[in-house]
């Protein structure tokens, strides 16, 4: 073993390897004898490619270059394609139009309207989808459920009146439809509504709102079962749990009641958290110890079920097709995989997102920690990764530097699935704390709403609780003698970038910070962001103009004199969620206050980096930045 200071160890993971092994999987679809999914490939300029798999696991790309299957509905996108009878329908990222093609042929453009589409459902009358119209003269985008005529490209509004729609879901006979919808200022995880209706010749008739006995709750993924009753997820009990609406009697029955989550925040449209086969339902649910699949027989009185205990800590985008379960699974030691699973739990891996052969002796397995905090929820959560590299030891008596990682959202969460990004740091001798502060999903509705205001007369807690919880995490790890208190940095993306900058402003726990396309001015965000999040700040900070002063005092851009630590700022030039102007004003202001700041603007990148060359440059710069802070004068 070599003796070197923590943070300076040589890692088997280079920035180039990290980029080339950062393939992401989305959206699984079955048709005829094949399974399809989308791969995001950094080495192909971040293109979203549709891939076909046969029953033997053989695969081939079916979407020719330069097409990219990625929708911009809500800007975050979601399910962008489907396949029916050998015909592929997809939304092309470059122009946001709908295209279709037979395998092996060139895609043909279907729509020419300024309408973005997601969650495509092929029917005898056309494609039913979530739609978002961007047109001159409208203050904001118009969202609705649409019927698209694939022969003419005409788009008909079949359901309107709400600010947002998701999960248009048809029964097997395609004569019934369900969906969820919500209005400003709610986000989908705050308060939403569940509706059902008859579908007659492509038109919605006899609408009915499904009541679930509670005024405030959010819904997720309605699905018609084999009896034409509706299965759905709701958080009536504080937890997102499954329910059954019986159409004939108009009654709702709890399927399972567990103090754990069966769903997650609806940032991405169309993500499936359960599936069905005949009378069986397959629910993914989990905790900090991992994800399970609960199997429920609908012919037996609820809540009888059994678990498929699989070797995964996260399971996403589950479907059942041809008597097999398909999903994207990952564990603390396995990168995301595309998995085929028999109904009794036998596994076949179809594809692996990372082909970097990293021995387990290098892998830092995270420990879930709970720690006390001064925030109103009293307890917060994180995953802690210790440094690990069998080739190195650190000098006796030293402790590792700590990187505090803040997830985006902020109503989102991190998990303990294997991440080359985390291992990039731990194999170099860094410790990592990946924080689920108050306001994160995964711990029930009450915890999820910790950042939100209690009444219209009080401000929300974004920029307060998230910072306190990050600070509390550092103090806890220092008290446990696990990290060096003088070598602590903080990093985050988007909303996590805001918390990073705000923590540098309000605390002195951190020696430096890295902001990836982070929010610097929450007032500008409230006034100039896209429709989906345009009223998000009402709950997290407060309504305008009433709480304008709170917006000002919590925005890092207005308090640059309070930031003393060095800052790395990385930004996409085409970011529509957090525009580059926010980053540039921050950078110039820090320079004016003689704060060390490094800034890179990446051409062709949006809210999230997808190109290999961008990922390589960003991670290389970030490592060099931290080392220059911890070990000045040492190259």
CATH assignment of the domain containing 162: 2.130.10.150
Q: Are residues 164 and 289 in the same domain?
A: yes
At residue 590 the predicted structure's pLDDT band, cuts being 50, 70 and 90, is: very high
Beta bridge partners of 25: 39
pLDDT attached to residue 355:
84
Ramachandran angles phi, psi of 539, nearest 5°: -85, -40
pLDDT digits (tens, 9 = 90+) for 603-621: 999 888 888 899 999 999 9
| 20 occurs within a structural domain | no
pLDDT above 90 (res 119): yes
Q: How far apart are CA 488 and CA 484, in angstroms?
A: 7
Of 302, 326, 352, the position where a domain reaches its end is 352
| 544 occurs within a structural domain | yes
Q: Are residues 213 and 259 in the same domain?
A: yes
Q: How far apart are CA 157 and CA 169, in angstroms?
A: 16
Q: Are residues 496 and 535 in the same domain?
A: yes
> The CATH number of the domain where 519 resides is what?
3.40.50.1820
Higher per-residue pLDDT: 536 or 290: 536
User: What total of structural domains would you count in the chain?
Assistant: 2
Q: What is the mean pLDDT of residues 423-430?
A: 98
Q: How far apart are CA 252 and CA 231, in angstroms?
A: 10
Q: Are residues 312 and 401 in the same domain?
A: no
Q: How far apart are CA 597 and CA 571, in angstroms?
A: 13
pLDDT attached to residue 288:
66
**Distant-in-sequence, close-in-space partners of 451: CB < 8 Å, separation ≥ 6:** 410, 411, 438, 439, 460, 461, 462, 465, 466, 539, 540
| 22 occurs within a structural domain | no
pLDDT attached to residue 37:
97
pLDDT above 80 (res 634): no
Q: Are residues 507 and 576 in the same domain?
A: yes
CB 458 within 8 A of CB 375: no
Q: How far apart are CA 512 and CA 501, in angstroms?
A: 10
How remote is the C-alpha of 399 from its chain's centroid?
A: 33
Q: Are residues 594 and 513 in the same domain?
A: yes
At residue 123 the predicted structure's pLDDT band, cuts being 50, 70 and 90, is: very high
pLDDT above 60 (res 79): yes
DSSP conformational letter for 43: G
How remote is the C-alpha of 419 from its chain's centroid?
A: 14
Q: Are residues 204 and 310 in the same domain?
A: yes
Q: Are residues 403 and 334 in the same domain?
A: no
| 79 occurs within a structural domain | yes
Average pLDDT, the chain: 94
Query: Is 202 exposed, middle or buried (CB count within 10 Å of its CB: 0-12, 13-18, 19+)?
Result: middle
Which of 236-240, 526-530, 554-558 bottoms out in mean pLDDT, i.e. has the lowest? 526-530
At residue 21 the predicted structure's pLDDT band, cuts being 50, 70 and 90, is: confident
Q: What is the mean pLDDT of residues 195-204?
A: 96
Q: Which residues of 321-348 are buried (b: 16+ CB within 10 A; e: fewer)?
A: beebbbbbbbbbebbbbbbbbeeeeeee
Q: Are residues 319 and 447 in the same domain?
A: no
| 146 occurs within a structural domain | yes
| 357 occurs within a structural domain | no
pLDDT above 80 (res 633): no
Which of 80-84, 215-219, 232-236 bottoms out in mean pLDDT, i.e. has the lowest? 215-219
Q: How far apart are CA 287 and CA 82, in angstroms?
A: 31
Q: What is the mean pLDDT of residues 556-583?
A: 92
H or E element in which residue 597 lies: strand 597-602
- Percent of the chain with pLDDT strictly greater than 90: 87
Q: What is the mean pLDDT of residues 457-483?
A: 97
CB 575 within 8 A of CB 517: yes
* Structural domain that includes position 260: 35-352
| 30 occurs within a structural domain | no
Q: What is the mean pLDDT of residues 124-141?
A: 92
For the chain, the first-to-last Cα distance in angstroms comes to 22
Q: What is the mean pLDDT of residues 410-420?
A: 94
Of 352, 371, 397, the position where a domain reaches its end is 352
Nearest to 83 by CA among 28, 3, 11: 28
CB 63 within 8 A of CB 69: yes
Q: Are residues 62 and 205 in the same domain?
A: yes
pLDDT above 60 (res 635): no
| 136 occurs within a structural domain | yes
pLDDT attached to residue 356:
86
Q: How far apart are CA 78 and CA 71, in angstroms?
A: 7
Instruction: Work out the number of other CB atoms within 10 angstroms of the CB of residue 503.
Output: 27
pLDDT above 80 (res 459): yes
Q: Are residues 98 and 183 in the same domain?
A: yes
Q: Are residues 586 and 480 in the same domain?
A: yes
Q: Quote the pTM value.
A: 0.93
Of 332, 352, 372, the position where a domain reaches its end is 352
Q: What is the mean pLDDT of residues 460-487?
A: 97
């Amino acid at each position: 073993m070599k003796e070197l200071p923590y943070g300076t160890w040589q890692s088997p993971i280079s920035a180039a390897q990290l980029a080339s092994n950062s393939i992401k999987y989305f959206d699984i679809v079955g048709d005829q004898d094949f399974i399809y999914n989308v791969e995001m490939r950094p080495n192909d300029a971040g293109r979203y490619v549709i891939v076909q798999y046969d029953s033997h696991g053989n695969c081939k790309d079916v979407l020719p270059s330069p097409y990219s299957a990625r929708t911009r509905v809500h800007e975050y996108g979601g399910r962008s394609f489907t396949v029916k009878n050998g015909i592929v329908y997809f939304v092309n990222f470059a122009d946001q139009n709908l295209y279709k093609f037979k395998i092996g042929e060139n895609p043909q453009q279907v729509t020419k309207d300024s309408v973005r589409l997601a969650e495509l459902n092929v029917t005898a009358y056309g494609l039913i989808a979530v739609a978002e119209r961007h047109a001159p003269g409208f203050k904001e985008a118009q969202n609705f459920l649409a019927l698209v005529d694939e022969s003419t490209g005409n788009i008909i509004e079949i359901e309107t009146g709400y600010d947002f729609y998701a999960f248009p879901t048809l029964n097997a006979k395609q004569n019934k439809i369900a969906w969820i919808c919500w209005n400003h200022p709610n986000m989908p995880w705050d308060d939403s509504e569940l509706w059902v209706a008859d579908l007659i010749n492509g038109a919605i008739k006899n609408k009915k709102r499904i009541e679930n006995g509670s005024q405030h709750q959010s819904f997720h993924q309605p699905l018609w079962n084999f009896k034409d009753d509706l299965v759905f997820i709701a958080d009536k009990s504080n937890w997102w749990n499954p329910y059954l609406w019986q159409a004939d009697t108009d009654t709702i029955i709890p399927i399972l009641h567990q103090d754990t989550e069966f769903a997650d925040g609806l940032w991405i449209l169309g993500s499936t958290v359960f599936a069905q086969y005949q009378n069986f339902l397959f629910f993914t649910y989990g905790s900090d110890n991992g994800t399970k699949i609960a199997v429920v027989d609908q012919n037996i009185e609820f809540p009888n079920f059994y678990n498929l205990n699989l070797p995964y800590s996260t399971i996403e985008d589950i479907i059942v097709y041809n008597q097999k379960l398909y999903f994207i699974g990952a564990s603390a030691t396995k990168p995301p995989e595309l998995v085929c699973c028999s109904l009794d739990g036998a596994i076949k891996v179809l594809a692996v997102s990372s082909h970097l052969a990293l021995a387990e002796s290098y892998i830092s397995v995270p420990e879930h920690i709970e720690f006390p905090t001064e925030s109103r929820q009293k307890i917060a959560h994180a995953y802690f990764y210790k440094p690990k590299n069998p080739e190195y030891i650190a000098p006796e008596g030293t402790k590792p530097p700590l990187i505090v990682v803040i997830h985006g959202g902020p109503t989102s969460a991190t998990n303990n699935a294997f991440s080359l990004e985390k291992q990039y740091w731990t194999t170099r001798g860094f410790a990592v704390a990946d924080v689920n502060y108050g306001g994160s999903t995964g711990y029930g509705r009450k915890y999820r709403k910790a950042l939100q205001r209690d009444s219209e007369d009080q401000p929300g807690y974004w920029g307060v609780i998230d910072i306190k919880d990050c600070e509390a995490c550092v103090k806890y790890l220092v008290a446990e003698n696990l990290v060096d208190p003088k070598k602590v940095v903080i990093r985050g993306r988007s909303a996590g970038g805001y918390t990073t900058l705000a923590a540098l402003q309000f605390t002195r726990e951190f020696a430096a910070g890295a902001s990836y396309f982070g929010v610097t001015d929450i007032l500008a965000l409230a006034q100039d962001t896209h429709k989906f999040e345009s009223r998000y700040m009402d709950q997290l900070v407060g309504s305008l103009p009433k709480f304008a002063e709170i917006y000002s005092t919590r925005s890092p851009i207005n308090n640059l004199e309070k930031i003393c630590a060095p800052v790395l700022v990385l930004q996409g030039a085409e970011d529509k969620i957090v525009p580059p102007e926010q980053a540039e004003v921050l950078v110039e202001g820090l320079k004016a206050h003689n704060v060390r700041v490094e800034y890179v603007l990446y051409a062709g990148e949006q809210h999230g980096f997808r190109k290999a060359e961008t990922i390589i440059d960003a991670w290389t710069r970030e490592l060099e930045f931290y080392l220059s802070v911890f070990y000045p004068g040492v190259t």
